[in-house]
Amino acid sequence: MAYKDGTEILLALSVATDGMARAVHMFPEVFYMDTTAKTNRQNRDLFLMVVKNRNGKTYIGNVTVVPSLCKWVFLKIYQHFFVALYGPVTIGRNRLALTDNDPSEHGPSDSCRLTMDCYLFSKHMLCVFHGVILKYNENIHPLLPRTRGQRDLPHRQRKLTKKGALYGE
């Protein structure tokens, strides 16, 4: 990023080694993307893009140190970093981008799909953990019946209420 007076600052640092780029070129169909918080000495957020082969082995495709979790930062990553590191042909082979429900991550991905030809066939979805498991824990688990004094321990079975017992029959 450059200022009018000629001062330049590093906006973000995006890393893709030869092995990482090779993995993305080999398995570009699905990108698994998420941000990890405070995992390094500088307490900076790291944005990771991971790909998977058909046998389920995962490969880190990109690590980007981001200054903030704003939408414009992710837009720059998708528009400039990914296209420069992997090329528009490889990005054009992507069909699915999986993220959590953070609009700053998936909003720019949707914008790229609408404005850039290389993202034309890419779709966005929530990952299973964020789309199913967290929603279950938030919306369904609190409604399950409990008896007085019973803790949520995995080795104890819950006793169903009369309504709950009838539901299984």
What's the confidence (pLDDT) of residue 77? 92
Q: Is residue 107 part of a domain?
A: yes
Domain assignment present for 168: no
Q: Is residue 160 domain-resident?
A: no
Q: How far is the C-alpha of 67 from the C-alpha of 76, rounded, in Å?
A: 12
Range of the domain at 122: 13-128
Residue 81 falls within a domain, yes or no?
yes
Lowest mean pLDDT among 26-35, 103-112, 144-153: 144-153
What's the CA gap between 102 and 69, in Å, rounded? Answer: 10
The stretch 133-161 carries a mean pLDDT of: 65
Average pLDDT (32-51) is 84
Instruction: Tell me if 44 is assigned to some domain.
Output: yes
Task: Tell which wins on pLDDT, 44 or 31.
Answer: 31
Summarised one tens digit per residue, pLDDT across range 87-121 is 999 999 999 999 888 888 888 988 999 999 999 99
Count of domains observed in the chain: 1
Residue 62 included in any domain: yes
Name every residue whose Cβ is closer than 8 Å to that of residue 33 and which is 6 or more positions away in sequence: 47, 48, 49, 50, 97, 98, 99, 105, 109
Distances (CA, A) of 140 to 8, 136, 166: 51, 5, 18
Query: What CATH number should be reported for the domain holding residue 92?
Result: 3.30.420
Query: How would residue 158 be classed by pLDDT, with cut points 50, 70 and 90?
Result: low
Q: What pLDDT score was predicted for residue 13?
A: 86
* 1 belongs to a structural domain: no
Residue 153 lies in a domain: no
Average pLDDT of span 19-24: 96
